[in-house]
Structure 1
Amino acid sequence: MRHLPPLAAVRVFEAAARHLHFTRAAAELGMTQAAVSYQIKLLEERLGAKLFVRDGRGLALTDLAKRISPQVTGAFDLLGDAFGSIRDEAASVLTISAPTSFGTNWLAGRLGAFQLSQPGLAVRLRVEDQIIDLMRGEADVAIRSGTPPWPGVRHQFVMRMAFAPFASPNVIARHAPIEDARDLLALPRIADEQWWTAWLGAVGLADCGDQPAGVYFDSQVLVGNAAINGQGVAMLTPGYWQAQIDSGQLVRLLPHVKAAHWQAGFWLVHPESKRNQPKIRAFRDWLMAEVRLAAGDDSDGILEPPGEATPTDGSA
């Protein structure tokens, strides 16, 4: 066990010894001169020796203080370097957590552009469907799906969860013509069943009878790839699959029908204490601009907030 004097008093001594002036030390430390004098007196009593004397020119160090002052300053420099390296590392790495589908299909392909705009920042993306503990530092920011608020974090709306029916050209050719929503009822579905139920309800087919046999997956990444491979019709988020749509691997069925929305949305969240960190501000500004760019004319309404929650980004 180290037998050290109170570190608050040692810190005051180090500043006063450098300045040879209690008032200047107080200004540096954000204290009153009386508080500085008290801490010096406390330290002198603990050591059983004087540290400062007054001469005709002002404040001077005693021989003891002259001997220990460089060592104390060096010790604080070492502490500053140690904690400074932590701050530098934290400032130079941004860790993002995102749901698997959003992170894999929407965010990952765009993050390179963000990193190029921030050359001093390393970016790490974690894709996971569990809600992680941001307060314990598991990530700096997260994209969450659901309905806020969540305890201890600020939230800002990013986009709605929109979905529409897609299939491969081969599936469409085998089942043509597909002219209205009822034509989809006989086609094999690649299910996330709740999305099918919501979409059919939105187009007036809530009581559509039993679903034909199909393949079930628990991730839109798997659902979309199954659709590309011709296994049936899938409900997909259009913005996730733009590259596959552009290449012709996926075709949107009934493009005149507006996408349906899940009741929740995607939200950017981060601890309240980190709201002013430059790396988080930079990511937030880039993300919101990228979402607006991807939405284009927003024909699917992904920029329309769900309405159940109030943002805590300062805009409300």
Structure 2
Amino acid sequence: MHFLAPLSAVRVFEAAARRRSFKAAAGEIHLTPSAVSHAVRKMEQALGVVLFERNGQGVALTPAGEALLDHVSRAFTELNRGLELVSTRAPQLLRLHCAPSFAAQWLTPRLARFLAEHPGFEVRLAAGAEYARFTDDEFDADIVYGRPRVEGFAAMPLKVETVTPLCTPELAAGIRQASDLEGRVLIQSDNKLVRWPHWFERNGIRSVPQAAIRFDRSFLAIAAAADGLGVALESTLLAERELANGRLVAPLASRAENVTYVGHHLVFPNDGHRRAPLRVFAGWLARELAVDPCPILI
């Protein structure tokens, strides 16, 4: 393939166009301003168009320059992604988005172990209720709550979760059956798929008590229950630490009909699994949760 301008000149153009300054571009790519100006002029001559408007205040892109910058920026992004994909010397960076409660309750406490097992890895974790869009190459994967709402992506279902009433051992002393929850302070996570009305209906209680305390995140409900504020209806997976250290117990786990479901999925673009950091993380996640590491197409 014959290029109208050498790649080195395209690199100079991209820096100058992005920075809107020959001087700033020169500092970035370690050239002199005059060398940047000369490379841009040669590129303009090769293409037969003016890319920059020059004035005493600096430079500005022409419409042709703006159009070229759009394509060049995307090309360099793809080029860098390809180089990182095949290079064994590239930083092992995992850019992960995650549902807030899973990030706070399950993932973050285990990151130290993951990093210890995989020296040289770097993890950038962002938590948010909105799904990652994967349109700007900001994230490699997203751990989402509930069923994935995107199509054409790969998803790895995570562990089946059990949702059951959780409270402190002191409160649990008086809870032997589902009806014992009547008159108790009930804590609800408003964004949870399984809420108190579902649980009471499943256990044959028609007069459903109203939740007295409501939160918009499960990690807040779990913390409130561990502090003795009331009884939370939560996932034993998310409350794993509090159950292990005895701050919370599940008084009705074997005495009532609880709800089980796949609460979270690891979602990523179909070609994302080619990136080594994501493959390593997905395998580690599957081992930690004892689930099938093979993703499904959604």
- TM class, shorter-length: 0.5 to 0.7
Displacement after TM superposition at 1:210 (Å): 4.4
* In structure 1, C-alpha distance between the alignment counterparts of 2:271 and 2:4, rounded to whole Å: 25
Match for residue 202 of structure 1?
202
Aligned amino acid, residue 297 of structure 2? T
Aligned amino acid, residue 191 of structure 1? Q
1:184 to 181, 205, 214: 181
* In structure 2, C-alpha distance between the alignment counterparts of 1:122 and 1:234, rounded to whole Å: 35
Task: Judge conservation of contact 2:200–2:208 (CA < 8 Å) in 1.
Answer: no
Secondary structure in 1 matching 2:296 = coil
* In structure 2, C-alpha distance between the alignment counterparts of 1:225 and 1:93, rounded to whole Å: 31
Unaligned runs of 5+ in 2: 8-45, 47-75
Task: Judge conservation of contact 1:135–1:271 (CA < 8 Å) in 2.
Answer: no
Displacement after TM superposition at 1:258 (Å): 5.2
Displacement after TM superposition at 1:90 (Å): 6.6
Higher helix share: 1
Q: With the length of structure 2 as denominator, give the TM-score of the two structures.
A: 0.65
Match for residue 156 of structure 1?
156
Aligned amino acid, residue 180 of structure 1? Q
Aligned amino acid, residue 202 of structure 1? R
Deviations 1:187-236 (A, max 9, x none): 1101236511222222222x2x2424611111111101111111111011
Match for residue 263 of structure 2?
265
The answer to whether the aligner puts 1:242 opposite 2:240 as a matched pair is yes
* In structure 1, C-alpha distance between the alignment counterparts of 2:120 and 2:224, rounded to whole Å: 39
Match for residue 312 of structure 1?
297
Match for residue 119 of structure 2?
119
* In structure 2, C-alpha distance between the alignment counterparts of 1:276 and 1:93, rounded to whole Å: 13
Displacement after TM superposition at 1:281 (Å): 1.0
Match for residue 108 of structure 2?
108
Match for residue 7 of structure 1?
3
Task: Judge conservation of contact 1:161–1:265 (CA < 8 Å) in 2.
Answer: yes
Secondary structure in 1 matching 2:266 = strand
2:282 to 277, 281, 284: 284
Identity of aligned residues (%): 25
Max radius of gyration: which structure? 1
Dislocated runs of 4+, deviation >3 Å: 8-11, 82-86, 88-91
2:213 to 212, 215, 228: 215
Task: Note closer, same or farther for the CA distance 1:286–1:116 as it changes in structure 2 (3 Å cut).
Answer: same
* In structure 2, C-alpha distance between the alignment counterparts of 1:273 and 1:247, rounded to whole Å: 40
Task: Judge conservation of contact 1:135–1:152 (CA < 8 Å) in 2.
Answer: no
Match for residue 230 of structure 1?
228
* In structure 2, C-alpha distance between the alignment counterparts of 1:83 and 1:235, rounded to whole Å: 46
Task: Note closer, same or farther for the CA distance 1:311–1:202 as it changes in structure 2 (3 Å cut).
Answer: farther
Deviations 1:245-279 (A, max 9, x none): 222211111131353135x6311111112222211
* In structure 2, C-alpha distance between the alignment counterparts of 1:135 and 1:158, rounded to whole Å: 24
Task: Judge conservation of contact 2:92–2:276 (CA < 8 Å) in 1.
Answer: no
RMSD: 3.1
Task: Note closer, same or farther for the CA distance 1:110–1:6 as it changes in structure 2 (3 Å cut).
Answer: same
Task: Note closer, same or farther for the CA distance 1:148–1:247 as it changes in structure 2 (3 Å cut).
Answer: closer
Task: Judge conservation of contact 1:228–1:249 (CA < 8 Å) in 2.
Answer: yes
Displacement after TM superposition at 1:84 (Å): 8.6
